Amino acid sequence: MKKGIIFDIKRYAIHDGPGIRTTIFFKGCPLRCLWCHNPEGISPAPELAFWENKCNNCGKCIEVCPNNAISGSDKLILINREKCKMSGNCALVCPSGALEVIGKEVSIDDIMKEIEKDSLFYDESGGGVTFSGGEPLMQLEFLNALLEVCKERDIHTAVDTSGYAQSGTFEKILDKVDLFLYDVKIIDDEKHKKYTGVSNEIILKNLKLLARKKHRVNIRIPVIPGINDSKEDINKIVEFIISLKNVTEINLLPYHKGGTAKYKRLDKIDLMTEVKSPLNEKIEKIKTLLEKSGFNVKIGG
């Protein structure tokens, strides 16, 4: 039986496609976007998160760690990430919920049971399931198997993707996906490499493929102050999207600080601490520019 690794399931989601949806977050992403608000979705492997404010310094986690990866001080435990082998013992004995393993292996049946809990809401709202991440295409076999079952059960499917996948990946799942939520971050390739860690060549190529296939696509543009919100950057995005002909909607996603605490919990560095959320006037100006080009534009998912 095919299995995958996920890090969250969000029920009653209303920003991940039409209607009321269940969003499944796959673990693992090939991009390293500076502004990532789900850093727990980057690594494909399970990780240990530590909520410092919940810790009561009881020391139980220190006692059960088989690799001596946890040590204690008067008020705080310290985790040696190099020593940690993810036994998960510490999270199991933590009485205050200060330690949590992020990421778990699940089966097709596990996920379908969660998805079908809200089938009534899908029917009444025109909703369904959205596979997000991380990058769901990194677990292609698992994703494809889930999509097949969803189609058999007449559940609307959406895939939220960066588009960074080898040629041929999209063809394998096209007939089972009702809607792609496709990120377009930056058109300039060198700039894209600088801020996401990868070239956008294959991303734009795959998006053109979806256009040729006339597949339904919602474009998602993260608006990041000082990175992709200049008039030049937005104009390049508009010019590219106009050429596609198959875009049903554009979602502007203003940068926010929602991921800041997550970086600390995982002992990761947040490189965007000095960046503030874009002003509403700036977002409205970008929205107006896109609408003048004939697009249906929404702020948020």
Q: How many domains does the chain have?
A: 2
Pairing of strands 70-72, 77-79: antiparallel
| pLDDT reported for residue 300 | 87
Q: Are residues 70 and 215 in the same domain?
A: no
The CATH number linked to 228 is 3.20.20.70
Q: Are residues 9 and 124 in the same domain?
A: yes
State whether the Cα torsion 82-88-92-98 is positive or negative.
positive
The CATH number linked to 91 is 3.30.70.20
| pLDDT reported for residue 1 | 62
Q: Which domain holds residue 224?
A: 3-44+104-299
Task: Answer with the one of 102, 127, 142 that is the final residue of a domain.
Answer: 102
Q: Are residues 92 and 144 in the same domain?
A: no
Nearest CA-CA partner of 169 in 142, 210, 135, 137: 137
Distance of CA 11 to the CA centre of its chain: 15
| pLDDT reported for residue 286 | 94
Q: Are residues 91 and 152 in the same domain?
A: no
Q: Which residues of the chain have pLDDT under 70?
A: 1, 74
Q: Are residues 118 and 190 in the same domain?
A: yes
Q: Are residues 111 and 63 in the same domain?
A: no
Q: Are residues 111 and 169 in the same domain?
A: yes
| pLDDT reported for residue 204 | 98
Q: Are residues 91 and 240 in the same domain?
A: no
Q: Are residues 125 and 188 in the same domain?
A: yes
Q: Are residues 9 and 147 in the same domain?
A: yes
Q: Are residues 22 and 165 in the same domain?
A: yes
Instruction: Report pTM.
Output: 0.95
Task: Answer with the one of 58, 76, 102 that is the final residue of a domain.
Answer: 102
Q: Are residues 77 and 120 in the same domain?
A: no
Task: Answer with the one of 102, 119, 138 that is the final residue of a domain.
Answer: 102
